[in-house]
Amino acid sequence: MASDAKNSTSESNEIPGIPRTVKSRVLETGAAMTQDFTPVKQICAHLNAFHIYADDPTRCVEANHYCTHLTEDVRQCLIYDSPKPNARLLGVEYMVSPRIFKTLPPEERKLWHTHEFEVKSGLLIMPTPKGMPTAVWEAAETAEMEDIAPIYGKTYHMWQVDRGDAVPMGPPQLMGSFTSPESVEKAHKGGMDGLLRDRDERFGVDYRTKAKKREYIAPVDKHPGMSVCIFSDSSEANWDVVSRCRRNVKVRWEELNETVMIEEDIRMRIARDSDNKLLGFNWTVSKRF
């Protein structure tokens, strides 16, 4: 019995359960021919990138996005661990334009992430369809990246496959995106090269080449209340304020009004632990921006 269970999981990404029978496959084929799948048939884009856990930026997972454009301002994506037939559904991501994002309440904005670094670094790709000339597809992909760079995403994963969960376990996890080479190194010791080597080989791409082609894409404007948090340590400190970015880390905030008032509407703070060790930075931009 144990042997049967082991065999059944190894055939489908180690998902527990008995493999589908001929009867099930026949019924599925019949359903596919007769039922209406209009919502999923609207999927028009496949994006590949990596998501990081909002409360633990040392963890990341590959994310294949299958996206539908509801309007010019709103997209929705199903997130899978691979593009294979037995891919596991990890979660969902919603994307909105800057025009929509700036209408959101300040507290809501904290749940959204940017895509600029993913685009400009070559980390975010649109895998080339079979039979499509590479040059033609890369031109289309680069144009699409112009549209994606300024939009914001809100992502939740239900299935933590990176820790080996056989089925979705625990509450949904808020996810984020990489925002710098340093944030990549925090999640993968090999940095960009180590993280993307296998991905690039599988899809036949080179993130460096893509980054070069996207250099012309203009920097993204920051919107009201957008905060950027970068942490460099996971140690806990004995302070009362809990960091918004790392929910399990207590930190002490210091105002740096004299040294980093870049403009009167931009404020920077630093976080230190009980040993006065630097944990990270936080920038807050006022409504004027």
Find which of 11-15, 126-130, 235-239 is predicted with most confidence, using mean pLDDT: 126-130
Kindly state the average pLDDT of the residues 205-228.
82
Confidence bin at 14 (pLDDT 50/70/90)? confident
Q: Bridge partners of 74?
A: 96
For residue 60, give the amino acid letter. Answer: C
Q: Report pLDDT for 8.
A: 33
For residue 80, give the amino acid letter. Answer: Y
Ranges of H-type helices in 19-85: 22-34, 38-41
Lookup result for tokens 């909105």 = 96
Kindly state the average pLDDT of the residues 32-52.
88
Torsion over CA: 197, 203, 204, 208 (sign): negative
pLDDT tens, position by position, 118-166? 999 999 999 999 888 888 899 999 999 999 999 999 999 999 999 999 9
Inter-residue contact 190 to 84 (CB < 8 Å): no
Domain spans, the chain: 39-214
* Residue 113 DSSP SS3: strand
Half-sphere exposure of 22 (CA within 13 A, CB side): 0
Residue that wins the pLDDT comparison between 232 and 69: 69
Confidence bin at 255 (pLDDT 50/70/90)? very low
| Pairwise CA distance, residues 184 & 230, whole Å | 11
Find, among 219, 225, 220, the residue nearest to 288 by Cα: 225
Inter-residue contact 68 to 79 (CB < 8 Å): no
Whether residue 232 has pLDDT greater than 50: no
Whether residue 228 has pLDDT greater than 80: no
Q: Tokens at residue 171, please?
A: 């509450």
Lowest mean pLDDT among 18-22, 234-238, 247-251: 234-238
The pLDDT mean for the chain works out to: 79
Confidence bin at 15 (pLDDT 50/70/90)? confident
* Number of neighbours of residue 224 by Cβ within 10 angstroms: 15
